[in-house]
Amino acid sequence: MAPRRALVIGGSLGGLLAAHLLRSAGWDAVVFERNAEDLTGRGAGISTHPQLIDILRRVGIDFDESMGIKVDTVICLDQHGKTYLETRTARTMSSWGRLYRSLRDPLPAESYRLGMSLRSVEQDADGVTAVFADGARVRGDLLVGADGVRSTVREQFLPDLTPQYAGYVAWRAMLDESEVPPDIRAEIFERYTFCLPEGELFLAYPVPGRNNETQRGKRAYNIVWYRPTAPDTTLIDLCTDATGRCHGTTIPPPLIRPDVTAAIKATARALVAPQVAEIFARTPQPFFQPIFDHDSPQIAFGRVALLGDAAFVARPHVGAGVTKAALDAASLAAAVSGDDVAAGLLQYQREQKPFGSGLVALGRQEGAYLSAQLKPREQRTAAELTRDINDVLLAHNSRSENLRNVLVGSRQASAIG
């Protein structure tokens, strides 16, 4: 008998993880990605957790030295560049590109189809059909919506639901190690570095280089800078290109106006430690991502399931979006092992919905300080005016433990429910 076919919509990390786990469970999983070319240029650091490493190993991807950079020290720099706190940590910092290649390369070419933009989904008792923008129709037994925060699949099944803007953006920048001035490299490159300008949060750490290298000299330095940004004024301006066209709540990095880039580099020099401001200023094209919260009331619809950011978007402070996508994929693949796909997906929903909602709540809690900054100063509480660096470090060093607690709690809830 031919294997059952899973149509996976979205060819980023969530879709690739779903395809691998379904294939190891005996499914013929095919990924459909709307971009016409391989997704390469998404330079961004990704912190990892033991659950992600376990799941990668399960599908034959060894999380060896080449997958990330180990960091064992955290430092906090004041505005003048002086280290005022130093502590131990144990993290492996990977990158989107490194994880993407390790998942994409082992998939057979015919199982990853580029230039396929899903338009709608049709389903009946015997199967599900993906309808693409070019009119192509592909039939399967299961459809997985791994199509991100703006999911077309979710929009069809939950049309009234839109992700909520959290009130701040993450500015991101990445610089090749060889471009970092030698004195700054020696001082901070291998450390996880925090700066706390008032009402903001700036962090930086080493990641694999642009061709995923982890050897000294070829790595890269990654910056994430959370800045409160008013939605109806500043965000609109940031998303408006040089021709005056506003692109919504985000804008492709090459279209960010030169004056916006110059202004954010000048702000870095004014607000954060000179070492990291220098690195930020040297990056050719910093870009920003608005931060959203999204919690789906339902993630299974007959033969259709939502996974990864399409299902739940937790603010990145937990550093677990990719690990959550991996856990979603593992739960989904196990749940659809029987003949009844729809019943399997209900089981998937019972397991992953409490987990997704729990992570969204944790992300909201950790980002509450940043969201509060849009309130007038006199309306903010003392905790909203000054973020205690010890709280920041505690949250950082407890990331994997917090993730595990949400996971254990959600598994208990799903066993009871």
Instruction: Catalog residues that contact ligand FAD under the rule CB under 6 A.
Output: 9-15, 32-35, 39, 45-47, 117-118, 146-149, 152, 170, 224, 289, 308-310, 316, 319-323, 325
Chain-centroid distance of CA 398 in Å reads 19
Q: Nearest-CB residue to ligand FAD?
A: 321
Least distance from ligand FAD to the Cβ atom of residue 324, Å: 7
Query: Which of helix, strand or coil describes residue 32?
Result: strand
Residue type, 371: S
**C-alpha of 15 from chain center:** 13
CB of 382 to ligand FAD, least distance (A): 27
Q: How far is CA 218 from CA 41, 95, 152, 177, in A?
A: 17, 14, 38, 6
317-354 burial, b at 16+ Cβ within 10 Å, e below that, comes to bbbbbbbbbbbbbbbbbebbeeeebbebbebbbbbbbb
Min. distance of Cβ 86 from ligand FAD in angstroms? 22
Strand partners, 342: none
Distance, in Å, from the CA atom of 193 to the CA atom of 205, rounded to the nearest integer, reads 6
The least distance separating ligand FAD from the CB of residue 376, rounded to whole angstroms, comes to 27
What is the smallest separation between the CB atom of 214 and ligand FAD, expressed in angstroms? 17
Residue closer to ligand FAD (CB basis): 80 or 286:
286
Nearer Cβ to ligand FAD (12/347): 12
C-alpha–C-alpha distance, residues 296 and 318, integer Å: 19
Residue 145: beta bridge partners?
9, 306
**Contact yes or no for 6/304 (Cβ under 8 A):** no
Taking the complex as a whole, the smallest distance from the CB of residue 282 to ligand FAD amounts, in Å, to 20
Nearest residue (CB) to ligand FAD, 146 versus 196: 146
Compare residues 380 and 395 and give the one whose CB is closer to ligand FAD.
395
Which CB, 155 or 384, lies closer to ligand FAD? 155
Strand-strand pairing, 304-306 and 142-145: parallel
Structure-token pair, residue 76:
């906090």
Do the beta carbons of residue 164 and residue 294 sit within 8 Å?
yes
Cα→Cα distances 52→47, 59, 172, 215, 299, Å:
10, 11, 23, 23, 21
Smallest gap, in angstroms, from Cβ of residue 167 to ligand FAD?
14
Residue 209 vs 290, nearer CB to ligand FAD? 290
In this complex, which beta carbon is closest to ligand FAD, that of residue 310 or of residue 341? 310
Rounded to a whole number of angstroms, the minimum distance from the CB of residue 337 to ligand FAD is: 23
Q: What's phi and psi for 113, nearest 5 deg?
A: -110, 115
Say whether 259 sits in a helix, a strand or coil: helix
Which CB, 27 or 288, lies closer to ligand FAD? 288
Smallest separation (angstroms) from ligand FAD to the CB of 311: 8
Residue 377: C-alpha distances to residues 77, 93, 232 (Å) = 25, 36, 19
Closest approach, Cβ 82 to ligand FAD, in A, equals 27
Whole-angstrom distance, CA of residue 136 vs CA of residue 119? 10
Q: What is the dihedral angle through the alpha carbons of 45, 51, 53, 54, rounded to the nearest 10 degrees?
A: -170
Instruction: Name the residue nearer to ligand FAD (CB basis): 82 or 324.
Output: 324
Nearer to ligand FAD, 170 or 300 (CB): 170
* Cβ nearer to ligand FAD, comparing 319 with 354: 319
Q: Which residues of 185-208 are buried (b: 16+ CB within 10 A; e: fewer)?
A: bebbbbbbbbbbbebbbbbbbbbb
In whole angstroms, how close is the CB of 308 to ligand FAD at the nearest point? 2
